[in-house]
Amino acid sequence: MNNEQAIKVLLDEWKCIDRNDGINCDRQCEKCDLVMDSAILKDAYNMAIKALSQEPPTFNWVQNRVDLAKAEIKNAIESTFCTKDEAIGLGVALNVIDKYFTI
């Protein structure tokens, strides 16, 4: 199940809850257009729970990744396998990283 499918499942489940809370539900679920297999519901809920349980990256983690990217760009610029045009492009990329991702 991909993210879009999981979101659709959860939104349909939300509609079911809304119907149940309102007057539009006669509690005959076998006839309802929103009924889904429990395995599909469990997959969608599992994806949502995992996404909500993940810790966002810390500043140090992000800064470490930026430093690694900068080091790789510098190595590529200094490499003999890099053409002049490629080195110029990499230099521009390095300047962008320095401008926007360095504190």
Summarize pLDDT for 7-50 with one digit per residue, the tens. 888 888 888 877 777 667 777 777 777 777 888 888 888 888 88
Helix, strand or coil for residue 15? helix
* Burial of residue 9 (number of CB atoms within 10 Å: 0-12, 13-18, 19+): buried
3-state secondary structure 18-51: HHHHCCCCCCCHHHCCCCCCHHHHHHHHHHHHHH
Are the C-beta atoms of 66 and 103 separated by less than 8 Å? no
Q: Does 84 score more than 80 pLDDT?
A: no
Mean pLDDT over 82-96 rounds to 77
Q: Does 103 score more than 70 pLDDT?
A: no
pLDDT of residue 69: 84
Mean pLDDT over 65-70 rounds to 85
